[in-house]
Structure 1
Amino acid sequence: PPPTATAPAQRSLDPTVEPGELVEPPPTTAVPLSRTPEPTIPVTAPPQVDETGVALPPPLLPDVPLPAEFDDPESTVLPPEQLPPPPPPTAAPSTTTAWAPVTILTAKDDVNSILPVYDAPNGTRLSFPDRDVWSYTFRGNRLVTRLLQGAPGDEWVRVELPVRPNGASGWVRAEHFDWSTVNHHILIDVSDRSVALYEGDDLIVSTSAIVGKPTTPTPALSGFLVEKLPNHNQQEASIVLGDWILMLSFFSEALNSFGGGLPRIALHGTHIPERVGEALSNGCIRIPNEIVETIAERAPLGTVVNIVA
């Protein structure tokens, strides 16, 4: 359970001011904090070696990051010619295909290292623009991936990875992962500005939502839930994130960075529930705290997330 909350710092919250969004700090630079940080999520630093036993520097395992105070500065917006190519259009979800149960591979607890990713079984090792793929996340939780090709007992499997570029995939050794099946999905409709959680065909909860504004739109992508971060003990700067931060596997396509970190998209709570149904965020999806609490409790890691325009 989360630590006992102390009274958050009080401040006047002007609902006409668009607050900052969640950012994922860069992998090699500590994020300076000018105020009291959130309580640290318990993390035990794993051995810093790769699969060959060679010592390696670890990624940072900081507290839950504080969001930027204001909207994104213009300097973080890439000019159109530097933006990565958009992914293929995401088809509208179908109850007969898109919502079939999916297989999730989670890095085993005893694997604490970089996980090499290849273009084929025993093929060429892949590199990614931001960092290597580790068996644990930036905040010390286990890496979650989605199976694309392979079956239990195979030596190699192809998985979708929660790294940039969006939709990145590769071949990994199956022995490093535990297998599970997820039958939950989250549908986020940007046009309707709505969020719904399903288990199979059964609706669990739905709500209106705040989505990205035109200059930093919520991307229409398919991915999965990779991390659930409690945020009940809110400090002044983190109150905009609400009670839970549900990290998704993909990133903003309008921003190359944000607030000094990677622009990962998240589904999280809000301190301005009266503004749900509007487009004013930097790409993240904000919903009332009581709804994000339900989703955090009911949606397992690996839950499919489809965002449609």
Structure 2
Amino acid sequence: MAPWCPPRALDADNGAATGAAAAPTLVSVPAPDSAPPQPAASPRHIGTGPSRRARRWQWAAAVGSLVVAGVAATYALSGGGDPQASGPPASSPASSAAAESATPTPSPSAGTEVTPGEIVVTAPSEGIALYDAAGAATPSDELGPWTPLGSPTTLLGFDREVVAGEEWIQVELPGTPNHRTAWVRAADASVTSSDARIDVYLAEREVELTVAGESSVIAEAVIGQDASPTPLGVFWVTDALDFTANPTGVYGAYALGLNGWSETLEEFDGGPPQIAVHGTNEPGLLGQAVSNGCVRLTNDTITEIARAEGVGVGTPVVVHTSRAP
């Protein structure tokens, strides 16, 4: 999982432009009533969102086509990069020392009693307020209702607390530094759950998909190189992008954008270094640690995962050092 490779990114080895990815479509998910940003020249928002057991709906969600511009998607994806080759990342490292010997930061939330995916929080049409502590009287920040790519803002919950008869949920936040936390009022959002889960095992170079506790896919993967390792811990899918119109591009057939960012790159190709699990147009690199942090899979594998029942926005992605205890 590492900065994504934007469609306009340069190949790290030879500086040539990589195969341009077609404007992606986004998998549709339960959405707030307000419309997402809609620049011109938009691809369709297709497919099914995550299959979740609804616990509480504070607003009526509509499952339909969200529209996102190819131009906007290209810009947003340039916020991170994962050139389809080994070699030094075309980006600005946080420091040369970090780039030489980078160690991913374990997630402080990985050991909580709440199972990843047990609590999925979706912001309503007016966005969602963030608080420093459960029961706080005044919010410290807020998130809007949409991601930059037009998906409903979705957060993973890691703890619950009841204060004065009101339920609060501790969530992690998108962006850097990874694993920042805040509290939200359960009454302010839609609270659901996800039966699907993606696990990444770095030492084994493997990705496993489980649905309802049953292993569905186990596949070989590319992971981050030593200078820009794949971050450890619990993340989740913030955007599910369908590139099957041109699966020969740098993202392959699908890209599952995550809430986390690279912990060694300050930017990639002029934007934030968002991480992702995506396909590849260089399957010969599978099993190697050569990416800028993204997890790459064959196009067949990422397609199977992205189209599996329950996979979509809100699906947890847990990155482990190894399968070994």
TM-score, normalized by the shorter chain, greater than 0.5: yes
Change (3 A) 1:106 1:23: farther
Specify which of 271, 276, 288 is matched with residue 278 of structure 1.
Answer: 288
Change (3 A) 1:176 1:254: same
Alignment of 1:243-282 (within 5 A): 243-282=253-292
Shift of the alpha carbon at 1:261? 1.0
Please name the residue that 1:103 is paired with: 119
Query: Who is 1:211 aligned against?
Result: 223
Structure 1 residue 46 displacement after superposition: 6.1
Separation of aligned partners in 2, 1:193 and 1:286: 10
1:182 alignment partner in structure 2: 194
**One-letter identity of the residue aligned with 2:155:** T
Aligned 8 A contact 1:68 1:259 in 2 = no
Query: Residues 194 and 209 of structure 1 are in contact (CA less than 8 Å); yes or no, is this contact kept in structure 2?
Result: yes
- Counterpart AA for 2:23: P
Specify the alignment match of 1:8 in structure 2.
Answer: none
Shift of 1:292: 0.6
Structure showing greater relative contact order (alpha-carbon pairs closer than 8 Å, 6 or more residues apart): 2
1:84-163 matches, within 5 Å, as 87-88=105-106, 102-108=118-124, 111-113=125-127, 115-120=128-133, 121-123=135-137, 125-126=139-140, 133-150=143-160, 154=166, 156-163=168-175
Q: Cα deviations across residues 240-288 of structure 1 (Å, max 9, x unaligned)?
A: 1101000122111111111111111100001111221111111100001
Task: Report the secondary structure of 1:293's partner residue.
Answer: helix
3-state SS in 1 of match to 2:155: strand
Which residue of the other structure, out of 157, 176, 194, is the alignment partner of 2:206?
194
User: Secondary structure in 2 aligned to 1:291?
Assistant: helix
Q: 1:139 to 1:92 in 2, by over 3 A?
A: closer
Cα distance, 1:222–1:123 mapped onto 2, change above 3 Å: same
What secondary structure, in the 3-state scheme, does the structure 2 residue paired with 1:241 have?
coil
8 Å contact from structure 1 (residues 268, 286) kept in 2: yes
**Aligned partner of residue 256 in structure 1, secondary structure:** strand
Residue type of the alignment partner of 2:152: R
Shift of 1:180: 1.2
Q: Give 2:93's aligned residue.
A: 77
* Secondary structure at the counterpart of residue 216 of structure 1: coil
SS of the counterpart of 1:63? helix
Residue in 2 aligned with 1:167?
A: 179
Cα distance, 1:178 vs structure 2: 1.2
Equivalent position of 2:298 in the other structure? 288
User: Contact conserved, 2:94 with 2:264, CA < 8 A, in 1?
Assistant: yes
- Please give the TM-score of this superposition, normalised by the length of structure 1: 0.70
The alpha carbon displacement at 1:190 in A equals 1.0
1:4-23: CA deviations, max 9, x gaps?
xxxxxxxxxxxxxxxx9436
Please tell me the residue identity of whatever aligns with 2:140: L
> 1:148 and 1:68 mapped to 2: Cα distance?
29
Comparing 205-214 with 179-188, greater Cα deviation is found at: 179-188
**1:17 — aligned with what?**
none
RMSD of aligned alpha carbons: 3.9
Cα distance, 1:142 vs. partner? 0.3
Decide whether aligned partners of structure 1 residues 207 and 41 sit closer, same or farther in structure 2, where only a CA change above 3 A counts. closer
Q: Distance in 1 between matches of 2:139 and 2:116?
A: 31
Contact 1:99 1:183 in 2 (8 A): no
Letter in 1 for 2:260: F
**Residue 307 of structure 2 aligns to a residue in which SS?**
helix
CA contact (8 A) 2:175 2:274 kept: no
TM-score w.r.t. length of structure 2 = 0.67
183-192 vs 97-106, which moves further: 97-106
Match of 1:307 in 2: 319
Q: In structure 2, list runs of 5 or more residues that go unmatched.
A: 8-16, 27-33, 39-68
Between the aligned partners of 2:110 and 2:186, the Cα distance in structure 1 is 31
